[in-house]
Amino acid sequence: MLPLLAVTLLTSLLWGMRHATDPDHVVAVTAIVSRERSVWRAAAVGAQWGLGHTATVLTVGGAIILFKLAIVPRVGLSMEFAVALMLIALGVLNMVGARSAVPASGPTLPPAVVGLVHGMAGSAAASVGVMALIPDSRWALAALMVFCAGTTLGMALVTAVIAVPSVYAGARLAPLQRRLRFASGALSAAFGLYLAHQTGVADGLFTANPQWTPQ
C-alpha cells in the first residue's frame, strides 16, 4: 500500500504543478505581477495565490471526497463562469491602474482572492481525479493536500518566471512597465470574455442542457 501511496502522492504533486500552468491561471498571475518590481515579491504573490486556491480546493474538494458529493453540470459551469468574471475584473483594474503615473499604484484584486475564485473551478477536478486514484477517503484527502502543495509551489515558481520581464522593465523604464501592465490587463479581460462565452454559451450554462466535465 505504501509504494502505491507514494506513487499516487507524487502523481498528485506533479498534477498540482501542471495545474498551476493552466492558461487561465497564467493569465491571471501575469496580470497580478505586472505591477511588481521584485522577482521575490512576485513569487510571494504567486504563493498567496496558491494559498487562496488551496483554501477553496481543500474546503470544496474535501467535502466532495468525504461526503461523496456530485457537482451537477450547472454548478460546475457556474464556478468556471465566476473565474471568467474575475479575469475580466482583474483585467479592467489593471488597465485602469496602468494609466496612473505610478506603475505600482491603482486598484487591483488581492492575490489570495484571485486564488480563492480559481479554486472554485479547480476543486471538483482535483477531488474527482484524486478519488479515481485512491478510493479511500483518508488517503484521498492526503493526496488532495499534496495536490494543493504542488499548486502553491508551482504558482510561486511560475509567477517568478513570469515577473522577470516586468521587473526588468520597471527597473529601467516606468512607461514600459505601464504598457506591460496594460497589455496584461487587456489579455486578462479578453481571455475572461472568451471563457465567459465558452462557459455560458458553448457549454450551455445559460441553456436548458448544460454540458460540463471536470478537467
Q: How far is Cα 95 from Cα 143, in angstroms, rounded to an integer? A: 39
The dihedral over CA atoms of 16, 142, 59, 29, expressed in degrees to the nearest 10, equals: -20
Query: What pLDDT, on a 0 to 100 scale, did the predictor assign at position 200?
Result: 94
| Amino acid in the structure at residue 120 | M
Q: Does residue 3 surpass a pLDDT of 90?
A: no
Whose grid coordinates read 516586468? 166
pLDDT tens column, 148-194: 887 788 777 777 787 777 677 665 666 677 788 888 899 999 999 99
For the entire predicted model, the pTM comes to 0.81
% of the chain exceeding 70 in pLDDT:
77
CA 121 to chain CA centroid, nearest Å: 8
Q: How far is Cα 136 from Cα 124, in angstroms, rounded to an integer? A: 17
Q: How far is Cα 180 from Cα 96, in angstroms, rounded to an integer? A: 13
Distances in Å between the Cα of 166 and the Cα atoms of 30, 71, 93, 106 are 9, 39, 17, 16
Q: Does residue 105 surpass a pLDDT of 60?
A: no
Neighbours of 162 (CB within 10 A): 23
Q: Judge contact between 118 and 25, C-beta under 8 A.
A: yes
Q: How far is Cα 45 from Cα 43, in angstroms, rounded to an integer? A: 5
Query: What pLDDT, on a 0 to 100 scale, did the predictor assign at position 164?
Result: 77
Name every residue whose Cβ is closer than 8 Å to that of residue 70 and which is 6 or more positions away in sequence: none
DSSP E strands: which ranges in 103-189? none
Q: How far is Cα 127 from Cα 119, in angstroms, rounded to an integer? A: 11
Between 143 and 88, where is the model more confident?
A: 88
The single-letter DSSP state of residue 60 is: I
